[in-house]
Structure 1
């Protein structure tokens, strides 16, 4: 197949082998490849197939983290929010948040202080600052219950989480990394100055795009296995086990649009938690998240409980005139966050910060990633490579803070200017489809649409604006191996897909593998 699927050379000694194709794993692989290192990333399922596609889709500092005095985390997160908006303007953009002030909620003076810190703790930034608002004004309060009159508005940003993962993997591959999905690391043993790592195709995942050798060798290993990071340590011979995780399930529901407008709400709850409502995919509202401590048995396929659905519906219904009920939920998703175990009993109070642990006192080295959040993945990768630098001879300097992610070089006028030029070049593409593709691929949209002159030139029409040309691109360049990869991670077309769309895609993949 075409790049990014180079054959694995069993005699190659990689500088770095990364276990895990979530956001932290691909971020580290990208950074390392850009520093001139030979990198292999191994993911047993699909990229972003677990926690990294089950977030609240926000790049944010974490306003509520200020209550737990996590000032360093908030500061770093806000700095990263600014960077990510600039390096990935096609998949991320600013979003205004309305924080109503209900009776019995946090006092106004506390919120003002928190928002002042939020605006200033990271220094200067491009997003608008916070201010108080009258919720009787339709701009901010339409759809809310009449009893809510005072509130605040502040800025954060939205991101397509699964595409953020894929774009980092694409860039890593472009810079020489090998990305291997559908493959599990089952064991690793230090032999002299290298790790010998045992690989095994995952029988429950689509067949890998390339032949997988039984073993590979690497000078250092990064254990970025997310919810499996602690158990993976048991497969790495001679590794220290001085870190633990607390598994916390976060669940979301998607319902028909609750309120008009393009802003989000952050809703205070009686139990001290907050719940977001966010405009989603044009005509839906995303409501989340919960915080439920879970055991290892829920890592692979976490599911929302009836109690969580009731909780999220009630959280929304306290604030909005349009009431929602469990039978109105169109889609749900859940992810298990591998939070570093800092001894907190309350799931909502467990730190969202990341901790990096070196696993050996000698070569070959091992680094394990505990915790973390989507927003800080790039900085986490820099820290990981800094920690490993003594064991990675020839590693170059940090470089990812200003380099656009693939497709993010939009040119004059930002996204709006780029979209206007796309309309002029491909006038035959329906507006909704063109905007979706422009956001998903940025300038790489030309790899799909190219010089075609009409919709009929794009091959089979699977419905919903998805054509064979796009699916071929996803298969050849983005590691898509099945219908679920396309409909739920490379896009969210599964939300509105016709009942037979997944079946059509499944037949197509079966015929082309």
Structure 2
């Protein structure tokens, strides 16, 4: 069988020599800016040193939310901006985002009921809602939300936010950018950049596999290198933003980042209903417990100062014990570190506002734009919910400096797979539309087992037809390389979603890693090595 074309893998050999905009960082902000700029007709190169969403952007609590707790810190502008974006995002990709109800058990020793009632009322009314229902107070006795909780919690407040598959959101934004003409380079590092001809001369180095070969199949022996001329440069390197300025460009940043590690744990399912929980703690932190991947519960997050390499962030024993203890304070069933089936951690690059408490540091963003010696925009801070708005503002800032005046376009645009209108009449209600799409897909593809169909529909939406191709039976999907993972899906992930290694597939493009053995993952790795 011939090797698969790495159309999405970003070979340096196919890179243009010049572009309007070079974006450094393949997290949610970099992918969002590349998408917006490419959609306005700018020539764009997006460069990521590892895999897309390899770090912070795949290690979130996976919420599309305004940030109810930020109201306590008087960040009304940030909360309103994020609340407006919630429904914009939910409509753009109903396969990877959906509404979620949150239950906050009331603990009189934490915050008084009147304060919580006022907070959720304000949360309801800071921005217009068309998709999400408003808040309410409930009695927990006899309510499904009360069943897994300890009996001392008798009442709760319920409000709405959204859920997102964060890593897939990044990949879909990058896929949309590529579909609109952007060159997306993964496993490519910017080794330096200097001013040249009113723009930037940017030096790139391929950091891919050491066993890479040339066109004749001979080992290259070393990663490749290229230079690109860019009229403008975007530093969206997230936790590495300051390091990029100081190391790659020998420039001093005028802002500073505060790196805060957030850790999460995944345990076997603790409750059967579809709602999530928000728990308060005596240290004023809050922790979420969220239904996850059908058979699990996701619990997080922590806020811990991080001074080491952001790429090596891990949930430590103290954080895992903290999350277990806090969840166990509310749930009837005790939770121990031995129950944890997976943990992950990410470093959030927060704009340093000199707050003493890491959990109180602002989650808002700042765009720092310089025109001399050449156009350079640095992204400081940010959160997943506001990525589209951040990207729009970034390109609004950059485009005039490039003599480009195309209008913003992403507010009403669908992400790849999010347009379901060819299959169903859309109602504008994301959860209802997806269920209709799933039912229609089951009628059109009766030979696909229901669990596999549901998984593929959730991951790929209306692009499920690109995954299965001309298949008319399960056998047509090719070898089942690992349980539930067939060659057809692997080929799609390599061809269109930049997958190169097993972790790309089983943790970021899918969450099959929760169910696969080490031997299963090794087979996926072997398949990728053989076919890429």
**TM-score between both structures, scaled by the size of structure 1:** 0.96
Tell me the distance in 2 between the aligned counterparts of 1:209 and 1:39.
26
Q: Residue 226 of structure 2 aligns with which residue?
A: 214
Aligned residues of 2:87 and 2:129 also touching (Cα < 8 A):
no
Q: Residue 475 of structure 2 aligns with which residue?
A: 456
User: Does residue 384 of structure 2 align to residue 339 of structure 1?
Assistant: no
Matches within 5 A, 1:1-40: 1=5, 3-4=7-8, 12-40=17-45
User: Which residue of 176, 195, 201 maps to 1:190?
Assistant: 195
CA deviation vs aligned residue, 1:140-197 (integer Å, no higher than 9, x gap): 2111001100110000010000000000000000000000001100110001212000
Change (3 A) 1:77 1:5: same
Shift of 1:207: 5.5
Tell me the distance in 2 between the aligned counterparts of 1:66 and 1:291.
18
Shift of 1:206: 8.6
Aligned residues of 2:6 and 2:498 also touching (Cα < 8 A):
no
Q: Residue 407 of structure 2 aligns with which residue?
A: 397
Q: Residue 500 of structure 1 aligns with which residue?
A: 519
Aligned residues of 1:259 and 1:322 also touching (Cα < 8 A):
no
Shift of 1:323: 1.0
2:122 counterpart SS class: helix
Shift of 1:465: 1.3
1:479 counterpart SS class: coil
Shift of 1:235: 3.4
Tell me the distance in 2 between the aligned counterparts of 1:212 and 1:364.
27
User: Which residue of 283, 287, 299 maps to 2:299?
Assistant: 287
Shift of 1:450: 2.8
User: Does residue 318 of structure 2 align to residue 299 of structure 1?
Assistant: no
CA deviation vs aligned residue, 1:50-95 (integer Å, no higher than 9, x gap): 0000000100000000000111110010111110000111100000
Structure 2: gaps spanning 5 or more residues:
216-222, 427-432
Tell me the distance in 2 between the aligned counterparts of 1:473 and 1:182.
19
Q: Residue 499 of structure 2 aligns with which residue?
A: 480
User: Does residue 277 of structure 2 align to residue 265 of structure 1?
Assistant: yes
2:410 counterpart SS class: coil
Matches within 5 A, 1:113-512: 113-202=118-207, 213-237=225-249, 239-295=251-307, 297-358=308-369, 360-411=370-421, 412=425, 414-512=433-531
Structure 1 stretches of 4+ moved >6 Å: 208-211
Shift of 1:392: 1.7
Aligned residues of 1:206 and 1:481 also touching (Cα < 8 A):
no
Change (3 A) 1:306 1:5: closer
Aligned residues of 1:239 and 1:366 also touching (Cα < 8 A):
no
Aligned residues of 2:199 and 2:232 also touching (Cα < 8 A):
yes
Shift of 1:124: 3.5
Shift of 1:203: 5.4
Tell me the distance in 2 between the aligned counterparts of 1:205 and 1:63.
46
1:500 counterpart SS class: helix
Shift of 1:361: 3.8
Aligned residues of 1:5 and 1:178 also touching (Cα < 8 A):
no
Aligned residues of 1:190 and 1:237 also touching (Cα < 8 A):
no
1:452 counterpart SS class: coil
RMSD over aligned Cα atoms: 1.8
Tell me the distance in 2 between the aligned counterparts of 1:186 and 1:38.
21
Shift of 1:499: 3.1
Aligned residues of 1:131 and 1:152 also touching (Cα < 8 A):
yes
Tell me the distance in 1 between the aligned counterparts of 2:213 and 2:389.
30
Change (3 A) 1:430 1:313: same
Count, aligned residues = 511
Aligned residues of 2:68 and 2:123 also touching (Cα < 8 A):
yes
Tell me the distance in 2 between the aligned counterparts of 1:264 and 1:209.
50
Shift of 1:508: 0.8
